[in-house]
Amino acid sequence: MPFTSSKLRNIGPRFGRSGFGRSGLGLLRLGTLCVASLCLLACTLGPKALRVSSAQYNHAIRQTMDEQLLLNLVRLKYRDSPLFIETGSISAQFQFNGGAGVSRTIRSGLLNDSWSYNGSLGFQDKPTITFNPLRGEDFVQRLMSPFDLETLMLLYYSGWSIDRFMRLTVQQANRLENAPSAAGPTPEVAPRYADFAHVTSILRALQIEGLVSVGYESEARPVASGLTGEAVAALDVLELTDRGYRVAPGGEADNQFDVIASVSKPFFRIDPAALGRKDVVELLELLNLDAEQLEKSGGRLALGSGVAASSGTFGALTLTMRSLIGTLFFLSQGIEVPASHVRKGLVTETRTADGEPFEWSEVTGDLLRVHSSAVLPPMGAAVAVRYRGHWFYIEDDDLASKSTFALLGQIFSLQSGNAKGAAPVLTIPVGG
């Protein structure tokens, strides 16, 4: 039976409500909900992405700095020039984009229409990293200048083992040598080191027992004497006080004054109760220290830096300090190199007085061991670099080497932290 207009009018509203009104409106609402959900997800991902990205950058920079430090140690072993690069800055851009859509396909018939919806969410991280080569005059001076006693004090009060940082930073204690020829390119003749290493092992034992310490003591030292009251009145007393000076009565007359500075002097102290111990007696003998004077002073000695006298006993402990480059050279001597590189003359082979090959592991083996391999380093190596066709690495379970390597990183930061790098600055955009 043909449809009448009245029937068409009756069908039309029903189709509009069921075919488009309800389904279309429902899907439109669903599409709107998708867009809102995507926006909410983007807001949630933002902080999470920032936390994850920050941790990844931190890990990457630390790993890069460790690899650079190891690479430069290996370079020094081969008498190649080191190069240090610092990360100047990291600028990261985070981009989020999202979208959603609803579509309808109309076919013949009343119930054949189809609906579809889609959504998308995008996230992109575009970092720009700036590298700065450390090659300026200030950095070179810091690289080659001897450490000062303040650095030694910082390491001591940071909890580092006294034998570890002394063997790295001290070249001579009084007349006792700590492989001074190792503070440069590999020597041909074996160095003197054994007595110094023994002394530091005794100091470490005393440190563990709390029987040895270093510190500063204040000493009053006149810088101007016999000033009259009028001369003192002309001085800016507040400024003098701010600079660490004080004015006190002095001189021969009643109306005379002295300007006194408070000077901090480093000292080294052994607990008086330990002075009679066998290992301490041996320590004093090796360092040529005056045992009687030490006992009178309550175990306290002045601590200084410089070059000790060539004869006699000492009433003070004088340390000849290494430089940062000297410490790097010292640790590089013990790197294990391939036998083929030794045969080719790529590295210097040190020999004993008898002409036998000298094992540098005797000097630095308990401090730092760097292995080499022609194939890939073992899985999970703490740090590894490839150089001259071989891998050089520190094993992850070698805690002594990892401790020394971490200490070396701190020493490097202390000595070069304020140095200014030289142009050019290398800026690398990462990502597209």
Residue 401 lies in a domain: yes
Give the tens place of pLDDT for each residue, 225-243.
766 766 666 666 666 676 6
Work out the average pLDDT over 86-93.
73
How does strand 256-270 pair with strand 300-305?
Answer: antiparallel
Q: Are the beta carbons of 143 and 324 closer than 8 angstroms?
A: yes
Residue 323 lies in a domain: yes
Whether the predicted pLDDT of 356 surpasses 70? yes
Residues contacting 57, CB < 8 A, separation 6+: 90, 92, 127
Whether the predicted pLDDT of 188 surpasses 90? yes
Sign of CA dihedral 195, 197, 199, 201: negative
What band does 410 get if pLDDT is binned at 50, 70 and 90? very high
Q: How far apart are CA 303 and CA 319, in angstroms?
A: 8
Work out the average pLDDT over 337-344.
95
Q: Which two tokens stand for residue 87?
A: 């990360």
Residue 405 lies in a domain: yes
Give the tens place of pLDDT for each residue, 45-79.
555 555 656 777 788 888 989 999 999 999 999 99
The percentage of residues in the chain with a pLDDT greater than 90, rounded to a whole number, is 48
Residue 122 lies in a domain: no
Residue 30 lies in a domain: no
Give the tens place of pLDDT for each residue, 194-219.
999 999 999 999 999 999 999 888 77
**pLDDT of res. 131:** 76
In the chain, count of helices (H) and strands (E)? 14, 13
Most confident residue range from 290-294, 301-305, 335-339: 335-339
**pLDDT of res. 10:** 41
| Region label for 241, one of left (φ > 0), alpha (ψ between -120 and 50) or beta (otherwise) | alpha
Q: Which two tokens stand for residue 68?
A: 């650079």
**pLDDT of res. 314:** 84
Query: The domain containing residue 201 runs over which residues?
Result: 143-215+269-424
**pLDDT of res. 19:** 45
**pLDDT of res. 14:** 40
Averaged pLDDT score across all residues of the chain: 81
351 to each of 48, 175, 345, 417, how far by Cα in Å? Answer: 58, 24, 14, 37
In what helix (H) or strand (E) does residue 316 lie, and over which residues does it extend?
Answer: strand 316-321
Work out the average pLDDT over 395-423.
84
Q: Are the beta carbons of 178 and 190 closer than 8 angstroms?
A: no
SS3 content of the chain, % helix, strand, coil (to 5): 40, 30, 30
Query: Which of residues 184 and 111 earns the better pLDDT score?
Result: 184
**pLDDT of res. 332:** 97
Q: Are the beta carbons of 367 and 163 closer than 8 angstroms?
A: no
Question: Which residue's entry shows tokens 């981009």?
Answer: 95
Q: Which two tokens stand for residue 332?
A: 């590089």
Whether the predicted pLDDT of 42 surpasses 70? no
**pLDDT of res. 312:** 73
Q: What is the largest CA-CA distance in the chain?
A: 139
Whether the predicted pLDDT of 87 surpasses 80? no
**pLDDT of res. 92:** 67
Question: What is the DSSP secondary-structure string of 393-427?
Answer: EE-TT-HHHHHHHHHHHHHHHHHHTTPPP-SPPEE
Query: Which of residues 249 and 151 earns the better pLDDT score?
Result: 151
What band does 90 get if pLDDT is binned at 50, 70 and 90? confident
Residue 316 lies in a domain: yes
Q: Are the beta carbons of 403 and 165 closer than 8 angstroms?
A: no
Residues contacting 151, CB < 8 A, separation 6+: 169, 411, 414, 415
pTM here is 0.75
Work out the average pLDDT over 239-248.
71
- How many domains is the chain partitioned into structurally? 1
Residue 362 lies in a domain: yes
What band does 428 get if pLDDT is binned at 50, 70 and 90? very low
Give the tens place of pLDDT for each residue, 357-381.
999 999 999 999 999 999 988 888 9
Tell me whether residue 352 is exposed, middle or buried, using C-beta atoms within 10 angstroms of its C-beta: 0 to 12, 13 to 18, 19 or more: exposed
State the distance between the two ends of the chain, measured CA to CA, in whole angstroms.
67
Give the tens place of pLDDT for each residue, 94-133.
666 666 565 666 665 555 666 666 666 666 667 777 877 8
| Region label for 226, one of left (φ > 0), alpha (ψ between -120 and 50) or beta (otherwise) | left
Residue 50 lies in a domain: no
